[in-house]
Amino acid sequence: MQISVTLPDDIAQLLTTIADANGLSRSALAAEIIRDGIYDEAMKIVKLQNLKTAIAALEQLNIVQ
């Protein structure tokens, strides 16, 4: 899938610098960074849901209120 993103000049320059230093295209580096960020956000959601489930279970046992 192809999408378009507008970046501030400083971020675009940093993306170019890092991509060049690692022998990657800007697109490949951006995809890697986005993938990592999305997985991190997904894990935060899973952890929050697990925490809510645990709290609800403790409330059912009258351990926490």
- pLDDT value for 52: 95
| Structural domain of 16 | 9-60
Q: Does any domain span residue 1?
A: no
Q: How many CB atoms lie within 10 A of CB 22?
A: 11
Q: 23: which DSSP letter? A: T
* pLDDT in the model for residue 64: 67
Residue 3 lies in a domain: no
Say if 42 falls within a structural domain.
yes
pTM, rounded to two decimals: 0.72
| Residue 34 included in any domain | yes
DSSP label at residue 63: S
pLDDT at position 65: 64
Q: Quote the tokens at residue 1.
A: 């899938």
Pairwise CA distance, residues 43 & 48, whole Å: 8
pLDDT digits (tens, 9 = 90+) for 5-50: 999 999 999 999 999 999 999 999 999 999 999 999 999 999 999 9
Dihedral of the CA atoms 13, 18, 20, 24 (nearest 10)?
Answer: -120
pLDDT-derived band of residue 62, with 50, 70 and 90 as boundaries? confident
- Is residue 4 one of the residues assigned to a domain? no
